[in-house]
Amino acid sequence: MSLRIAVLGSGSGSNCQSIFNAIDDGRLDAEVVIVLSDNPDAYILERARQRGVRAEVMDCQGYKNKFPLEVQEALAAQLTELKVDLVCLAGFMRLVKEPLLAAFPRRILNIHPALLPAFPGVEAWKQALEAGATQAGCTVHYVDAGMDTGEIIMQAYVPVLPDDTAATLHARIQVQEHILYPAAILSAISRL
């Protein structure tokens, strides 16, 4: 039976698209049953709608960064009801806490645009560039209550080129992300 995935994102959703693509070309025996965003204008919602996947907005009660616990509790109940096996964060900009973590132990994944544990947090590719790193990359990891601190599942390296700008580096990292995330999901599935 194919695995049931929920995707949470706040932005463009190119990583969500890479999951759709991996399902369509048979790399991933899974179904995305719902896409949720905290941002009503996020293109990730449009990608889901175009595919006929349920797309919903989470109302974070006007908080800019906080992920209110009662919203997480309601989400945990909804995803349990939908019999979701795996929750994939794909550019989701809020920290997941106990209500969700407890409902989906070792079943929440995140993709981060740096070689963790180096450069957690926002705009990690920019942090790498500013630190003068020669290697950048991306990481898929299990989510814990910290920021980008959970156990690493898979990583991909991306060299930093001498003339890289934040935009060119991020673009090359994203190419690798789109390969890495479906592969890491497959790896996580095999460990369930």
Three-state DSSP class for 149? coil
Three-state DSSP class for 190? helix
CB of 77 to ligand GRF, least distance (A): 25
CB nearer ligand GRF, residue 39 or residue 74: 39
Interface residues for ligand GRF in 111-140 (CB under 6 A)? 111-113, 138
Which of 4, 12, 33, 60 is the binder for ligand GRF (CB under 6 A)? 12
Say how far apart CA 39 and CA 59 lie, in whole Å: 8
Q: Is 87 in the site for ligand GRF (CB under 6 A)?
A: no
Residues serving a catalytic function are 112
Say how far apart CA 70 and CA 82 lie, in whole Å: 18
Query: Which sign, positive or negative, has the C-alpha torsion 74, 80, 84, 86?
Result: positive
Whose CB is nearest to ligand GRF?
91
Contact stretch for ligand GRF (CB under 6 A) within 109-117, 126-134, 153-161, 183-191: 109-117
| Cis? peptide before 99, omega within 30° of 0 | no
Residue 152 has which token pair?
Answer: 């690493």
Match 């973590």 to its residue by tokens.
101
Which of 177, 184, 185, 188 is the binder for ligand GRF (CB under 6 A)? 177
Contact stretch for ligand GRF (CB under 6 A) within 11-19, 53-61, 76-84, 184-192: 11-19
168 CB-contact burial (10 Å; exposed 0-12 / middle 13-18 / buried 19+): middle
Contact stretch for ligand GRF (CB under 6 A) within 10-18, 51-59, 61-69, 159-167: 10-18
> Where does this chain bind ligand GRF (CB under 6 A)?
9, 11-15, 90-91, 111-113, 138, 174, 177
